[in-house]
Amino acid sequence: MDFKKKVKYIFITGGVVSSLGKGITASALGLLLKLRGYSVTIQKFDPYINVDPGTMS
Q: Which residues contact 10 (CB under 8 A, 6 or more apart)?
A: 29
- pLDDT digits (tens), the chain, 57 positions: 566 778 889 888 876 666 678 888 899 999 999 999 999 999 887 666 666 666 666
pLDDT given for residue 45 in this prediction? 78
pLDDT given for residue 53 in this prediction? 63
Report DSSP state, residue 55: G
Q: For residues 7 and 21, give the distance between their C-alpha atoms in angstroms, rounded to a whole number.
A: 25
Task: Count Cβ atoms within 10 A of the Cβ of residue 26 and give its class: 0-12 exposed, 13-18 middle, 19 or more buried.
Answer: middle
pTM: 0.63
pLDDT given for residue 44 in this prediction? 82
SS3 3: coil
pLDDT given for residue 3 in this prediction? 65
Number of domains in the chain: 1
